[in-house]
Amino acid sequence: MLNFIEGGVCAAQGFRAAGIHMGVKSRKTTKKDVALIVSDVECAAAAVFTRNAVKAAPIHVDREHLKNGKAKAIIVNSGNANACAPQGEENARRMCAAAAKAVGCDVEDVLVSSTGVIGQRINVELIEEGIPALAAMLEASPAASAAAAEAIMTTDTVKKEIAVETMVGGKKVVMGGIAKGSGMIHPNMGTMLCFLTTDCAISPEMIRTALLETVNMSFNRISVDGDTSTNDSCIVLANGKAGNPVITEKGEDYDAFLKALQALCVQLAREMASDGEGAKHLITCTVKGAKSELSAETISKSVICSTLTKAAIFGTDANWGRVLCAMGYSGEDFDPDKVDVHFTSAAGDIMVCEQGRGVNFDEDLAKKILTEHDVEINITMGEGEGSCTCWGCDITYEYIRINGDYRT
């Protein structure tokens, strides 16, 4: 059993959330910009962070707080990244302390995340003042999860939240998540924040193992613009309220948990790629017949990261040469004369390259296929059994506009 349901981070038992407007970036807007997620009990916790050498202050604080593999609450703001900023770690700790006081837990049990403009001091006094009101709004409802999802958005155009239920150890287990990500998205986490909650009983060691496995085949397989942010964080909390036998090793129960977690995160990853800044198309690139899964992943990532391929999809131009070119500089060894390429969407499927050579195809049909929002680039290589799917988006004039005046 694996069913997608509503409720986001509040779908699992024992979790509450809230999101309100405090004016972190500007008092001129009314957009929600601070979120709080709280478990009724202490959780097993794990996180994966950006591989960028320049890391935001909240990441350093979270690493300290996660040394014991436990947490109970997450406080998040948008509008200011608290990265490369004056008093960064001090202010991140102040956010944790204010949240801990408001929800009644140890400060080490609070994790903190921020997203927004880099280099500016965060108005921590404003956040400290607003946290009691935020905590007073905590609810275990779909609306509360939606409010939290809205509060973490920056250039996102849509909220990203989802939940899934499955059976683990004879008990129904639920997990849910909210995420933000639109620009600065690139494999090895991209400017994304993702917060996952579950009522599954699982040890800190095993939930970290599951998260690492999941991130590598979901969030690390998307790209919008090739930039990796300073703030990327994916955090998971598991409070054990489902009552299943605690997962302490790999086996049938772990596999069921992992399958649900991966389904959840792949969907959130797809939503991030689909909502790339200014994007008009979600690009799904599937490579089959590679020498190995790793080889297929490297080639697929090269295609979705190709600026020229992105531009061709934006222009609904079936320029399959861009695809082969991107495959060729991926660093993987393969025989181009074995490569077939198809473009596919809800409007149909068309072969544009066979055995590494162009074929006569209906340009009008190809354009119709590429006009759809969801476009697939399907590559068959004839090298082995390796396969992989990665996700990206086109690049548009709007992307330049958004990032040309991001600070203002």
Distance between CA atoms of residues 139 and 145, nearest Å: 8
What value, to the nearest 5°, has the Cα angle with vertex 191 and ends 190 and 192?
85
Helix, coil or strand: residue 112: strand
DSSP assignments along 351-382, one per residue: EEEETTEE----HHHHHHHHHSSEEEEEEE--
DSSP code of residue 393: E
CB within 8 Å of 405: residues ≥ 6 apart: none
Q: How many residues are recorded in the chain? A: 408
Q: At what angle do helices 88-103 and 57-65 cross, to 10 degrees?
A: 50
Contact 341, 324 (CB under 8 A): yes
Given the residues 155, 191, 230, 309, the one annotated as active site: 191
Distance between CA atoms of residues 238 and 356, nearest Å: 49
Helix, coil or strand: residue 64: helix
Phi then psi for residue 224, to 5 deg, are -110, -50
Contact 22, 280 (CB under 8 A): no
Paired tokens of 225: 């613009």
Q: Residue 9: in which H helix or E strand, if any?
A: none
Question: In the annotation, is 380 catalytic?
Answer: no
Sign of CA dihedral 14, 20, 23, 26: positive
Contact 77, 95 (CB under 8 A): yes
Which residues are marked as active site?
191
